[in-house]
Amino acid sequence: MNPKKIVAAAAVVASLALTTTACNSSSGSSDIKVGLSVSTLNNPFFVQMKEGAQAEAKAAGVDLTVTDAQNDASQQANQMQNFLSQNVKSIIINPVDSDAASPSVKSANKADVPVVAADRGVTRGDIATTVASDNVAGGKLAAKTLAQQLGGKGTILVLQGTAGTSASRERGQGFAEGLKAYPDIKVVAKQPADFDRAKGLDVTTNLLQAHSKITGIFAENDEMALGAIKALGSKAGKSVKVVGFDGTPDGLKAVEAGTLAATVAQQPKELGKLAVKNAVALAKGKKVDPMVKVPVKVVTGK
């Protein structure tokens, strides 16, 4: 084929693809435009958050543009810049990285566009309000729940999330603090499984070789907890109690089935909804609370 034709065809395909995605990502058509930059849609949690946000935007009749930063902080910075040039009235940022988001927030401040931080905070710059689940409180809650399940004593494993992420840090911190009230519960191993189900399975399998007598596992998210349950096989929910975090649909199903003792459920849809609600209020010039806590709740089988 003629190379020029190929190039032309590719250009047509690419522009088509761009227009369709652009159409998909914006909904409604009013004069209030709000931008939402999600850290990644490669994770069911944020997909649900996005869905909650879109539902709320539709109900409020505002034009919500959603972008996916694919866990890349510099991509997120570009998207924030684009929002500003699109003259949005307010921006919701779900930061890839709390530090790296600061410059973008500052330039939004300069342009007098209010910013809402969702799920994670931003280190510097003026954030009108932060809408987040309380990870530290959730971690404490997880410790309490697991201790109750174990009757106040036992030996447990902890599956950590991706090293260096705030979610892993805060949940781990909360869990450790919560566990101080139960001196008879001993953590025999703490290993990373990167918030990933397959890794949760492999790491738990390996740890069971060294620590076969454990009675409980805390996983910093449901995906790893589900991997751990796979590794435990018939022991899950019987001789070993597993507590997860997030309350994803799969996690809740496992709670129902009894293999997952409990999960600290975040409410991503609620989070998305509250974020949009606050962003719309800001766009209309209203005052909002600087900190909006989305409640976490423990979901247990019984």
Structure letter (DSSP) for residue 256: H
Q: Does 72 bind other proteins (CB under 8 A)?
A: no
Q: Does 207 bind other proteins (CB under 8 A)?
A: yes
In the complex with other proteins, which residue's Cβ is closer, 122 or 232? 232
Candidates 88-96, 201-209, 274-282, 286-294; binding stretch for other proteins (CB under 8 A): 201-209
Q: List binders of other proteins among 159-188 (CB under 8 A).
A: 160, 163-164
Exposed e or buried b for every residue in 237-270, given b needs 16+ CB within 10 A? beebbbbbbbbbebbbebbeeebbbbbbbbbbbb
| Pair of tokens at residue 17 | 């693809």
Q: Does 201 bind other proteins (CB under 8 A)?
A: yes
Question: How far apart are alpha carbons 295 and 274 in whole angstroms?
Answer: 11
* DSSP per-residue codes, 37-92: EES-SSSHHHHHHHHHHHHHHHHHT-EEEEEE-TT-HHHHHHHHHHHHHTT-SEEE
Q: Does 255 bind other proteins (CB under 8 A)?
A: no
In the complex with other proteins, which residue's Cβ is closer, 151 or 233? 233
Q: Does 206 bind other proteins (CB under 8 A)?
A: yes
Q: Does 258 bind other proteins (CB under 8 A)?
A: no
* Contact code string over 27-66 relative to other proteins, x by CB under 8 A: --------------xxxx--x-------------------
Q: Does 209 bind other proteins (CB under 8 A)?
A: yes
Min CB(208)–other proteins separation in Å:
9
Min CB(233)–other proteins separation in Å:
10
List the one residue from 190, 252, 270, 298 that touches other proteins (CB under 8 A). 190
| Residue 142 contacts residue 245 (beta carbons within 8 Å) | yes
Kind and range of the H or E run holding 297? strand 297-300
| Pair of tokens at residue 131 | 């809408």
Closest CA to 252 of 198, 299, 302: 299
Instruction: Tell the burial category of 17 from Cβ atoms under 10 Å away from its Cβ (0-12, 13-18, 19+).
Output: exposed
Crossing angle of helices 166-179 and 135-150, rounded to 10°: 40
Question: How far apart are alpha carbons 276 and 285 in whole angstroms?
Answer: 14
Kind and range of the H or E run holding 127? none
Q: Does 74 bind other proteins (CB under 8 A)?
A: no
Q: Does 260 bind other proteins (CB under 8 A)?
A: no
Min CB(192)–other proteins separation in Å:
4
Report the chain's terminal Cα–Cα distance, integer Å: 66
* Contact code string over 123-162 relative to other proteins, x by CB under 8 A: -------------------------------------x--
CA atoms within 13 A on the CB side of 115: 29
* Contact code string over 221-250 relative to other proteins, x by CB under 8 A: -----xx--x------------------xx
Min CB(22)–other proteins separation in Å:
15
Q: Which residues bind other proteins (CB under 8 A)?
A: 1, 6, 41-44, 47, 160, 163-164, 189-192, 196-198, 201-203, 205-207, 209-210, 226-227, 230, 249-250
